[in-house]
Amino acid sequence: MSGPRPVVLSGPSGAGKSTLLKRLMQEYEGVFGFSVSHTTRNPRPGEENGKDYHFTTREKMQEGIDNGDFIENAVFSGNMYGTSKSAIEDVQAQNLICILDVDLQGVKNIKQTDLNPIYISIQPPSMEILEQRLRDRQTETEESLQKRLEAARIDMELSKEPGIFDIVIINDDQNEAYMKLKSALIEEIQKVQDAKK
């Protein structure tokens, strides 16, 4: 695959990945692109097919996985999620840095490919703060919240394993976390900007 190195961003739900990404994409407009993931879950209000996710059926997605069309896939809360090779290539073809927002299972799957991305983990300062952030969203049932917290506990433990991530950012202070994220990516950002000149 040619084009700028992709970025694999991981971390539990509620760690603040989306907020940091939004800032990055506002500051560096036209530098980043998202690979649009596939999922078998139903769209949430306001989500668009092809923009937020490629919403699909279990059968279709399983067929793609069996054919080797996905670089990673996972099952979360009973729904399938995955990143197709073509979704990444679409972004790289536009000379953009492709951002992949995946869980740890996805990170481990990507490590088995020839993608060569920059691996970044965004972590919450503590489980208590994470739980508060998730509760403040008021988007989940208690049962699904508990599942997310359990997944986050595992995620936080495993992210400490040496060699999994190039950088682990604790999102305690948003500005500080943002500066760390930016400095981890500045070299690739520069390449894209230079290519546009």
For the question of residue 137 being annotated catalytic, the response is yes
For the question of residue 5 being annotated catalytic, the response is no
Q: Which one of the listed residues 23, 41, 135, 137 is annotated catalytic?
A: 137
Burial (Cβ within 10 Å: 0-12, 13-18, ≥19) of residue 112: exposed
Q: 121: part of which helix (H) or strand (E)?
A: strand 118-123
Q: Which one of the listed residues 41, 44, 133, 135 is annotated catalytic?
A: 44
Q: Which one of the listed residues 23, 58, 135, 148 is annotated catalytic?
A: 148
How far is the CA of 137 from the CAs of 21, 68, 130, 133, 148, in angstroms? 18, 36, 11, 7, 13
For Cα atoms 94, 100, 101, give the angle at the middle one, nearest 5 degrees. 145
Sheet holding 38-39, edge to edge: 54-55, 38-39, 79-84, 70-76
Residues 6 or more apart from 154 whose CB is under 8 A from it? 104
For the question of residue 148 being annotated catalytic, the response is yes
Q: Annotated catalytic sites, by residue? A: 44, 137, 148
